[in-house]
Amino acid sequence: MELKLKLKKKKESKSETKSKLTSFQKLSLHALQKQKQLIELKEWLFVLGFIGTASFLRVLMQGLPNVEPLTFFAVLAGWLFGKKKGIIVGASSLYISNFFVIGGQGPWTILQVLAFGIAGFLGGFLRKKSTMLEAVAVMVITTLISQIIFNVGWSVLIGFNVLLAFATGLLFTIIHLVSNTIFALLLPSARKFVDNWGGFSEKELCDYYISRINAGFDNRRVKAAKEH
């Protein structure tokens, strides 16, 4: 009888320990989820900051033909926060700045939004530890794509010969490529600065520990089911 009581107490003690561990895990999971939400909120604040800064700089730089900061900020946003946010930065900064530049809004806005949205999308393909060469390659590719969109689009809109459009726009294409390549050299430093300042690398840690805790919960459920 005495032995049975001791075994019963031992089982109750183990059950209490499991309960305490589960409570601790739940608290940890809640804290990690809150931290992740905070980081995601900061991401959106930075996205809005990128849109505002890119729009403002484009207005200031409109006197320089085909020199624009939009591709830089779109690719940077895609690299830091993913393809969707990259698209948002590229498309939104173009649309907003069009209200304050010569030419403004028009049928061409659709072409411009598409081009700079693609820039942000391609920026999302850059890895966390991508090299400067990879960043430059993405900037060159997205610049060429945008020039193709602009030239073909303009030809269709005004009924101009496509080959002549590319020929007459060759100088502007070269200026666009050279200026964006120079901007691309700043991408790795800009990414590192924003990442450290915003603490965005912590998001991966949050995801890792959340998955570990959830995996622990699942294992406990399976074990409990087997015991019963």
| pTM confidence score | 0.84
Give residues with Cβ within 8 angstroms of 228, minimum separation 6.
none
Per-residue pLDDT of the chain (228 residues; tens, 9 = 90+): 554 444 444 454 444 444 445 776 777 777 878 888 899 999 999 999 999 999 999 999 999 999 999 999 999 999 999 999 999 999 999 999 999 999 899 999 999 999 999 999 999 999 989 999 999 999 999 999 999 999 999 898 888 899 999 999 999 999 999 999 999 999 999 999 999 998 888 878 888 888 887 776 555 554 555 555
> What pLDDT score does 50 carry?
98
Please state the separation of Cα 185 from the chain's center in Å. 19
Measured CA to CA, the distance from residue 108 to residue 119 in angstroms comes to: 17
Measured CA to CA, the distance from residue 80 to residue 124 in angstroms comes to: 8
> What pLDDT score does 11 carry?
52
Structure tokens at 106: 């028009």
> What pLDDT score does 219 carry?
53
Domain ranges of the chain: 35-212
> What pLDDT score does 223 carry?
55
Q: What is the DSSP letter of 56?
A: H
> What pLDDT score does 18 carry?
45
> What pLDDT score does 1 carry?
52
Q: Are 101 and 91 in contact (CB under 8 A)?
A: no
Measured CA to CA, the distance from residue 185 to residue 192 in angstroms comes to: 13
Measured CA to CA, the distance from residue 31 to residue 126 in angstroms comes to: 30
CB atoms within 10 A of CB 61: 16
The secondary structure element, H or E, covering residue 122 is: helix 108-123
Q: Which CATH architecture has domain 35-212?
A: Orthogonal Bundle (1.10)
Measured CA to CA, the distance from residue 216 to residue 226 in angstroms comes to: 15
CA triplet 100, 105, 109: central angle to 5 degrees?
120
Measured CA to CA, the distance from residue 99 to residue 109 in angstroms comes to: 11
- For the stretch 48-64, pLDDT in tens is 999 999 999 999 999 99
